[in-house]
Structure 1
Amino acid sequence: MLKAIFLDMDETLCATSLADKHAVGQLKLYVADLYPQLDADLFLERYVAGVYKKLNDELPELVPLLNDELYFRQNLIIVLFKEQGIDLPFDSAVAIQACFDQSRMSGFDFFPGMKDALVALRKAYKLVVITNGPVFSQHPKLATTEMQQYVDHIIVGGEEPEEKPALSIFEKALGLVGCKPHEAIHMGDSLAADIAGANNAGIKSIWVDTQKEADHQQLVYIKPDFIVANPVELTEIVASLA
């Protein structure tokens, strides 16, 4: 019998990509106004890549800073400005990062219908959010959405010894709600982190398909139990399992 529902946050409960687009747009206006000599589009392209750790091999000098995500991003900004021949003071990098963060949080919210779905599901099941990511980025999202009002427990990967897909983080979730693997289901948008992790833990999995080609290539060897296009479809799946 199903007793608990585990949930990813970004692109599962909340429209992170929309918030990112809003923040990038606001940041472009900000840097273009203050630094007309800057190629703002190039800066933003590389900044987003750096934030998602896609420049680690190219910029190894920043890797040791990853234990402090905020400091890492501020220094990333300085390095990216330097690439365009602009010496940026640290306090200016702080202001640029603050612009991005504030703009991102102003546009961060649940997908339509998701809050109502959580309220309804919580009447019959224990709900646990399991989100990867550093405290710096995840705690403001949790606070902005008042996530603690909608779920029973929240696990932030950046505070744990291991993140998804590690077995330990799913075992912690099971322990928090006093469930066995077959009594839980996990929904997330990452095949590698959410679905593979849940499958390896013996937990049924629901994959939120965000229509990324790279994800569909992984379907050959990572098999979710259910696939949804809209996370709110979770309620229908749970009803079918009841």
Structure 2
Amino acid sequence: MTPDAVLFDLDDTLCRYRRSGASLLAAAFDRTGIEPFVAAEEYYGRYPEFVEESESMVDLRERCFAAIAAEKGHPPGAGRRVARAYADERDHGNVERLPGVEAALGACSDVPVGIVTNGAPEMQAKKLETIGLDDAFDVVVHAGYDTAAKPSSDPFEAALAALSADPARSYHVGNSLRSDVAGANAAGVRSVWLAGDDADAEPSRRSDPDHVVSGLGMLPDVLSTRNRP
């Protein structure tokens, strides 16, 4: 039986950043000559506060850095300068494909494929373009923007509806037990957990994957096993 569709997460499933957020932020402060006033963890923690009022990813990031700068006794403009430098450092060739992408997509050559990703549309589109996969998918759902964020079942259901696919005959591949596996399970999609460095994480009843792989290169075996008579 050929699957109706195969969905993929993007970040840390198909691609990854070459440098950590902490490294990028340090470079941004260095480039601007502004004394560091926030750590990467705090920035990430404040990020959701500005999503609803922001018009774009650029606007969101600048609002966040400006607010944190003001709270720490710096001019908001300094925060916006750091935000722009951070974006430049992050987007300048800082994304790369993960191993096994070609094998995974090759196994889906006759099957509709989609992306279900938590992330801003312009940011995720840039990543797909950078790794040469901007035309590789039949649908891209930006969870948290087009629909509720993962682990809600909504983005999975939206992607499958666009592909006219039956959840029970479809797969989702992702690295996060909490977001990818739990969300796919909630949508009735067969979940494939890309364990990677998280191989010792403990699945729960809600996030118990149907399949576990240590790399994308194992996905062809998962699909071929399901398709054997």
Normalising by the smaller structure, the TM-score range is 0.7 to 0.9
Supply the distance in 2 between the matched residues of 1:240 and 1:86 (Cα, whole angstroms): 58
Per the alignment, do residues 102 and 181 of structure 1 end up closer, same or farther by CA in structure 2, a change over 3 Å counting?
same
| 1:12-161 mapped onto 2 (5 Å cutoff) | 12-16=13-17, 18-19=18-19, 21=20, 24-32=22-30, 34-35=32-33, 38-39=35-36, 42-51=38-47, 53=48, 56=49, 62=50, 65-66=53-54, 68-89=56-77, 92-105=78-91, 106-118=93-105, 120-161=106-147
1:138-217 matched pairs, under 5 angstroms: 138-212=124-198, 216-217=201-202
Counterpart Cα distance in 2 of 1:136 and 1:236: 33
Whether the 8 Å contact between 1:148 and 1:154 is mirrored in structure 2 is no
Counterpart-to-counterpart distance in 2, 1:232 and 1:225: 17
Aligned to 2:211: 226
Task: Name structure 2 gaps, 5 residues minimum.
Answer: none
SS at match of 1:65: coil
Deviation digits for residues 39-74 of structure 1, max 9, x if unmatched? 46x4444223333x4xx5xxxxx5763564432321
**In the TM superposition, what is the alpha-carbon distance from 1:218 to its structure 2 partner?**
4.5
Which deviations, in whole Å up to 9, do the C-alpha atoms of 1:146-165 show, x marking residues without a partner? 32332222222244232333
| Post-superposition offset of 1:221 | 4.2
Shift of 1:141: 1.7
Tell me the amino acid that sits aligned with residue 199 of structure 1. N
The letter of the residue matching 2:74 is I
Cα separation, 1, equivalents of 2:145 and 2:107:
27
Native 8 Å contact 2:142 2:155 kept in 1: no
Are residues 35 and 81 of structure 1, via their aligned partners in 2, closer, same or farther at CA, if it must alter by over 3 Å?
farther
Count how many residue pairs are aligned between Structure 1 and Structure 2: 225
* In structure 2, distance between residues paired with 1:116 and 1:210: 16
Residues 1:235 and 2:223 are matched in the alignment = no
Between the aligned partners of 2:4 and 2:147, the Cα distance in structure 1 is: 26
Q: Note closer, same or farther for the CA distance 1:35–1:171 as it changes in structure 2 (3 Å cut).
A: same
Q: What letter is aligned with 2:30? A: A
Q: More helix per residue: 1 or 2?
A: 1
State TM-score, norm by structure 1: 0.78
**Backbone CA RMSD of aligned residues:** 2.8
1:125-158: per-residue Cα shift (whole Å, max 9, x none)? 2211111222243222233233233222222224
SS in 2 for 1:216: coil
Identity of aligned residues (%): 24
CA distance in 2, matches of 1:182, 1:85: 54
Corresponding position of 1:59: none
Shift of 1:5: 0.8
Aligned partners of 1:163, 1:83: CA distance in 2, in Å?
A: 28
TM-score, length basis structure 2: 0.82
> Compared with structure 1, are the counterparts of its residues 135 and 152 closer, same or farther at alpha carbon in structure 2 (3 Å cutoff)?
closer
